[in-house]
Copies of this chain bind each other. A is one copy, B any other.
Amino acid sequence: MGIKAVKFGGTSLCSAAQMKKAAEIVLADADRRVVVVSAPGKRSPQDEKITDLLYRCYEAPEGEEKVRLFERIRERFDEILSDLGISLDLSQEYETIWNTAGKFGGRDYFVSRGEYLCAKIFSGLLGYEFLDAADGIFFHEDGTFDDERTRETLSSLLARRNAVVIPGFYGKMPNDTIRTFPRGGSDITGAIAADAAGAYLYENFTDVSGFLLADPKIVDKSETVSIISYKELRRLSYMGASVLHEDAIFPVRRSGIPINIRNTDSPDDPGTMIVEKKDRLGTVSGIAGKKGYVLIRISRDRIGSDAAAARILSGIFERRRIPIYGDSHSVDSIGILVEARDIAGKRDYILNEICQCLEPEAVGLTDGLALICVVGERLCPAVPCAVFCALSELLERAQFIDLGADDIVLTVGIREAAFEQAVRKIYEKLSG
């Protein structure tokens, strides 16, 4: 019998009803023995997440407002408890939290109590043992994650337990204070636990049935992607697609544990599998994109094959600490793609320096570019065909075209005004 590590996000645990669904999912599969939970999230768009309430409460000065906010938090948990109908008294916990916060427990301690209390409740509901993240997840003195100590301790804690619920989001510093991962850090806790447990799968239950092929804010009812590689995920995340943060991936990626993004509200959907290596390459794993790029074009006789010019040019951007999104050198020209915000206020300096150092025949800026990235390892020939036919149908000229050297992303740059329409048309051609 193997182990599946299961993580539930805030929406999956926002109410007693949701918690029951989550519990059903866990109990439906005897392998689901390592459970990591977020703090209860929003029950409706107007609702507030427990973690946000905790932050507000912590920041509030001593007084009525602070007390009122803490009261709201207690009420949320008590309501869940009473709706679940399980006998668990958290009043002692509330008191400890309130008192510890007042006695230098620190902000990270306080704001991570949502996960802590949620794990308490969920472990009670499941009949699984509660395992505090403070006992198994550790940070270094400098605040970075202590991988070695965590692996050692957490593995042995898990080895001695049959089934546990672990609160996400936090761990312990060498001085025994609590420290949180960056927001969304419960995903990391899940990955760490999956790794330490030697799980064969890390199931990440959310409120969507996996990753969507295109941004749902642009494309209505986008298809779900059934399988995606870590590399592809990273590229999508780089282009702003809301996917798992890469920090949340390394512990399982290292151990070759696949991640399955699933939907608590639709537990039969297969969701998205995130794997090291896809069996079948060539298909599209995502269409992402962003506005706000600028293409700097530099022309001079043979400049594209002039290594010295390339070196000098890189130096200019290096000295000014301007990240280059991408660049392309061809015979008589070099194009450098940067984000507009990265050169804000520095345009004239940069162009001047380029002119002085390289004496080009011409330097120009193309402003207002949106990039569309079609992501997929070794995209099959039909993909660029579909992408450029979509643009052709829109009579939209690609002003930048590049297939990255790692053969994962086909990037096209078009006018910002055409961005959404182009994404929709490309999606239309590529989906189904």
Contacts and interface: CB of A to CB of B under 8 A. Distances in A.
A328 interface: yes
A94 to B, nearest CB: 44
Interface in A359-396: 378-382, 384-385, 387-389, 391-392, 394-396
Given A388-B384, A388-B385, A405 B308 contact: no
Contacts of A318: 307-308, 310-311
Contacts of A297: 405-407
A402 B410 CA distance: 10
Interface stretch (A11-19, A23-31, A329-337): A329-337
A102 interface: no
Contacts of A325: 304-305, 330-331
Contact of A398 (B299, B307, B381, B399): B381
A381 B297 CA distance: 20
A332 B237 CA distance: 13
B398 A401 contact: no
Contacts of A391: 381, 384-385
A225 interface: no
B384 A398 contact: yes
B404 A331 contact: yes
A332 B238 CA distance: 10
A295 B407 CA distance: 11
Contacts of A378: 397
Given A331-B238, A333-B404, A388-B388, A324 B305 contact: yes
A378 to B, nearest CB: 7
A396 B381 contact: yes
A406 B299 contact: yes
A188 to B, nearest CB: 18
Contact of A403 (B234, B310, B380, B398): B398
Contacts of A334: 405
A335 B405 contact: yes
B410 A333 contact: no
Interface string A55-89: 00000000000000000000000000000000000
Contacts of A384: 384, 388, 391-392, 398, 401
A405 B362 CA distance: 12
A315 interface: yes
A38 B278 CA distance: 62
Nearest to A397: B381
A409 interface: yes
6 contacts: A307-B314, A310-B327, A330-B406, A335-B406, A381-B391, A398-B403
